Structure 1
Amino acid sequence: MAQFPFGFGASDSGDSGGFDMNNLGAMFTQFGQMLQQSQNEGPLPWSTVMQVARSVLGTDPSVTDASVRAVESAMELADLWLNESVTFPASSTVVKVWSRSEWLVETAEVWQKIILPIATTMSQRMETMLPGLADSEDLNGLEDQLPQELKAMLPDGLTPELMAMLKPMLGMVTQLGATAFAYQLGQALSALAKEVVSSTDVGIPLAPAGTRALIPLNISEFAQGLGIEERDLFLFFALRESAHQRLFDHAPWLRPRLMSAVEEYARYMDVDVASLGEKFEGFDLTSPEALQQVMASGVLEPQDTAEQRQAVIRLETLLALIEGWVDEVVTQAAGDRLASLGQLRETMGRRRATGGPAETSFSTLVGMKLRPKLFREANTIFAAVRAKSGVQARDALWNHPDLLPDAEALADPLGFVQEVAGGSAFDDISMSDFEKDEDQG
């Protein structure tokens, strides 16, 4: 027989009908306190997300004047170098120098847009477990109506009186799922805040439009043990940040296409709610440590479906192309002028392989794992196109999404180059050439 959930057991007699109603009342009180804060925020209670993130982040040193000067100087030099190696012009941007907590605040709006489709899908999946049960008047038959996932969380032979007290919990299950996801998201964002070095370090522009930003404290920690001068570090990451900025400014379709890919991924998600019973059986609701463990354990994790696999392929291909192009551009811009470039690129490669910010973000927050091999293949394509047809041909691939290599091309990068990079056909292509076809599609 299943135990009572949330750490409350039956009476000493072993009779579930003799369940201690005082304990049940305490359970509802604890439940209400946990859910009250987020009850009006829908499937993604962002106040809970930020509260958890700030709490886990802890002490956060302020940015120093010296760091501000170092970042601004690095950004100026990065623009000069990129002007020589990329066809996309520099746009009017504001340079920001963030602390970790400032990264949390400044990127919150974009994170909400990224995560909301996933949270909404999870909420809808939870609601399908409870079709009208919370409003049912048939207490005698209510237990029979419960989904197997919830029956696993409750003891056998519940009396109508006990079911009457448990019934309000049915309406809370969806909100409990949202709160669980908010805890998991808050912890993940806090971990990212301690690791990201720029506003685009996860592969998606998280800063407000027209903003380039670095996080000096994380850059310093990134450099520990590398023996690289701080000036080189700031310049390297300024080059990467500025290259990202130029790409997204030149290809205005890119940002919404990324968001659309995330939404598509979320639309085909399935959630393994059967594991909820296992997660909460014997759970002590009065223990903050136990609550944190459950919320961080992936209570709601996306499950594999055929449609979702296709959505993953489209999303990870686009992310690989962005990172591959940025690395190619930065390598050409720095050239022999940045002595530590080779070491920094090797370090970035190990970072991706072991789970850098981009890999962590999409694994923990979105539920998908990025493959470093795709980045290497994308990088090969952009470098080969440049070597074969020049910088303009390489950058012109971003004039329209249909020009970019797809997943099949990434599996055969040299084949793609041989097919499309033999001449200068890309040079004069612009978005207007495809508008008619898109309207018809």
Structure 2
Amino acid sequence: MSADPFDEIEQLLAAMFGPQMAADAVGALRASGVDPEQLARISGMGDLSRLTSAQLSGLQAQMQGLFAGAASGTVNWTMGQDLALRTARGDGDPVITAADAEQTSKALAVADLWLDAATDFMPAPGPREAWSRSQWVERTLPVWKDVCAPVADAATGALGDALQHQITRLADSEAASAQMGALGNVMRSMAGTAFGLQLGQAIGELGRQAVAATDVGLPLTREPGTALVPANVTAFAAELEADADQVRLFLAVREAAAARLYAHVPWLRSQLLAAVEAYARGIVIDVDAVEQAVAQVDPNDPEAIRRALESGMFAPQETGAQKEALEHLETLLALVEGWVEVVSARALAPHLPLAVALREMVRRRRIQGGPAEQVFARLIGMEFRPRRVHEAARLWERLGAELGDAERDAFWRHPDVVPTAAELANPDDFLTMRRAAQDMDAEMDADLASLLDGTLGYAAGAKDADAGGGAAREADEPGAAPEDESEQ
């Protein structure tokens, strides 16, 4: 073992979760007072059976204290948030000045004025704010928990079960087995902490890149409003070598457009989150594959662990239900992004010379993605870069040109009316297909009405005939009173 036992642990964690997360995790371990000699034995699974019952109990107590942040759920969001904030501040996090706040508020106010000419949706209620990178993390984290927790809980639980099974298998006595079973619960918390750290790293990376509250297409705040991140807006403008004022206005219009959509289409947020939850419910972890991976990979060989993780041994197995949920999610995100793109272009065209070039830059940025988005794709199996944005934009553009802004936006009034995934595949034929379907429905309604009219007419005639026959029979009955007194 090396002079510092934590070196081996950090090397192992670095192979699994990357150097930054490994350094943060080991820093937390050092600060907690965990015995490094005992913890190092965990990194070599075969040595666990050599620990005495007292050592196991002591280590369990230490680890429970360290990973207490996961007590309220499978994922340790406390450590995840700490890492997200440190990552977001990694290359600096300028404080929001009065000038930043004023420039941002003004840009968002101008954006709302320009958008009034491009959509019938009213401006979103709520504040117009400038956020630091840390504030972006803090304000969006509650929604990230909603998005990631269901998937993370399922995956982490399966990995924790596999680790516990492996620990118990290594026990050489019944007493040791009981102790190791208890230690397995701690290992579940460790798995939740590892997952939380990875999510924290990804959210922190996004905090260094995100220019607005709706940058990834999702509504990342629970309350309505609009926000820009001035430090990231400035960095984005410098990357494009473009005028910062024009870039700020361009991004403000996109942010304000997305905020209007989410504020005035009440079902949209719930449908997006429901698709994520449906995906989580469909998760089926191949526990046998996970246990085989844990058993076969040498814990003392970081390179082998890295290869196992990259091979997808620990990845959730995608089911038919999950594919359906993902398609629904991708379709909604594509429709949102396509609508924002089209409406923003309409609003910006008369005012911003760089609008067309900036629109293309944003498209490329979305297509390329980034390290943080790749982490989310690996961890929760979802990409926030929908594939059909181009088709969705073409569809919204055509609807606006043929029907006008009000009729275009009316397709958001109900989830049953919004374009489907199949219709996005053929955006140029959307109106033709919808009108054909409407004509068919109208024809069926007319046929049904005609059938009902005929049936009712027949029933009414039969009733009249029956009434007339009844009266005649009544008049012919013996002893019947005459209707006219003069006949008496």
What SS does structure 2 have at the residue aligned with 1:49?
helix
Give the one of 123, 137, 142 matched to 1:104. 137
Does structure 1 residue 50 correspond to structure 2 residue 81? yes
Q: CA deviation at 1:122?
A: 3.2
| Larger Rg belongs to | 2
Asked whether the equivalents of residues 124 and 260 of structure 2 are also in contact (C-alpha less than 8 Å), the reply is: yes
Identity level (%): 33
Gaps spanning 5+ residues in structure 1: where?
130-146, 426-441
Deviates more, 1:401-410 or 1:65-74: 65-74
Distance in 2 between the 1:330 and 1:357 partners? 27
Give the one of 191, 195, 204 matched to 1:181. 195
Give the structure 2 partner of residue 116 of structure 1: 149
Q: CA, structure 1 residues 10+177, in 2 after alignment: closer, same or farther (shift >3 Å)? A: closer
Asked whether the equivalents of residues 150 and 277 of structure 1 are also in contact (C-alpha less than 8 Å), the reply is: no
1:306-345 equivalences in 2 (<5 Å)? 306-345=320-359
Asked whether the equivalents of residues 152 and 379 of structure 2 are also in contact (C-alpha less than 8 Å), the reply is: no
Amino acid at match of 1:313: E
Give the structure 1 partner of residue 116 of structure 2: 83
Q: CA deviation at 1:211?
A: 1.8
Q: CA deviation at 1:64?
A: 2.4
Amino acid at match of 1:54: L
1:92-241 equivalences in 2 (<5 Å)? 92-122=125-155, 125=158, 129=161, 158-241=172-255
Give the one of 365, 374, 380 matched to 1:366. 380
What SS does structure 2 have at the residue aligned with 1:192?
helix
Asked whether the equivalents of residues 385 and 421 of structure 1 are also in contact (C-alpha less than 8 Å), the reply is: no
Distance in 2 between the 1:169 and 1:345 partners? 54
Give the one of 356, 361, 366 matched to 1:347. 361
Distance in 2 between the 1:211 and 1:279 partners? 46
Give the one of 43, 58, 65 matched to 1:7. 43
Give the structure 2 partner of residue 41 of structure 1: 72
What SS does structure 2 have at the residue aligned with 1:253?
helix
Q: CA, structure 1 residues 411+323, in 2 after alignment: closer, same or farther (shift >3 Å)? A: same
Deviates more, 1:45-54 or 1:257-266: 45-54
Distance in 2 between the 1:357 and 1:9 partners? 31
Give the structure 2 partner of residue 67 of structure 1: 100
Amino acid at match of 2:218: I
Q: CA, structure 1 residues 240+39, in 2 after alignment: closer, same or farther (shift >3 Å)? A: closer
Q: CA deviation at 1:239?
A: 0.4
Distance in 2 between the 1:78 and 1:112 partners? 30
Distance in 2 between the 1:322 and 1:227 partners? 28
Asked whether the equivalents of residues 317 and 374 of structure 1 are also in contact (C-alpha less than 8 Å), the reply is: yes
Asked whether the equivalents of residues 265 and 308 of structure 1 are also in contact (C-alpha less than 8 Å), the reply is: yes
Q: CA, structure 1 residues 157+93, in 2 after alignment: closer, same or farther (shift >3 Å)? A: closer
Distance in 2 between the 1:151 and 1:37 partners? 22
Q: What CA deviation, in whole Å up to 9, does each residue of 1:108-133 have, x standing for no partner?
A: 22222222222333355457x4xxxx
Asked whether the equivalents of residues 270 and 303 of structure 1 are also in contact (C-alpha less than 8 Å), the reply is: yes
> TM-score, normalised to structure 1's length?
0.78
Amino acid at match of 1:45: N
Q: CA, structure 1 residues 30+379, in 2 after alignment: closer, same or farther (shift >3 Å)? A: farther
Q: CA, structure 1 residues 71+294, in 2 after alignment: closer, same or farther (shift >3 Å)? A: farther
Amino acid at match of 2:412: W
Give the structure 2 partner of residue 262 of structure 1: 276
Asked whether the equivalents of residues 35 and 175 of structure 1 are also in contact (C-alpha less than 8 Å), the reply is: no
Distance in 2 between the 1:395 and 1:389 partners? 10
Asked whether the equivalents of residues 164 and 188 of structure 2 are also in contact (C-alpha less than 8 Å), the reply is: no
Distance in 2 between the 1:306 and 1:182 partners? 27
Q: CA deviation at 1:93?
A: 2.3
Distance in 2 between the 1:61 and 1:298 partners? 39
What SS does structure 2 have at the residue aligned with 1:213?
strand
Distance in 2 between the 1:179 and 1:293 partners? 21
| Greater share of helix | 2
What SS does structure 2 have at the residue aligned with 1:204?
coil
Asked whether the equivalents of residues 183 and 296 of structure 1 are also in contact (C-alpha less than 8 Å), the reply is: no
Amino acid at match of 2:42: F
Q: What CA deviation, in whole Å up to 9, does each residue of 1:124-147 have, x standing for no partner?
A: 5457x4xxxxxxxxxxxxxxxxx7
Amino acid at match of 1:50: Q
Q: What CA deviation, in whole Å up to 9, does each residue of 1:240-289 have, x standing for no partner?
A: 111011111111111111111111111101234534664695557xx9xx
Give the structure 2 partner of residue 137 of structure 1: none
Distance in 1 between the 2:358 and 2:175 partners? 66
Q: What CA deviation, in whole Å up to 9, does each residue of 1:193-217 have, x standing for no partner?
A: 1111100111111124132110011
Give the one of 55, 63, 68 matched to 1:32. 63
Q: CA deviation at 1:30?
A: 8.9
Please give the root-mean-square deviation of Cα atoms over the aligned residues, in Å: 3.7
Q: CA, structure 1 residues 172+276, in 2 after alignment: closer, same or farther (shift >3 Å)? A: farther
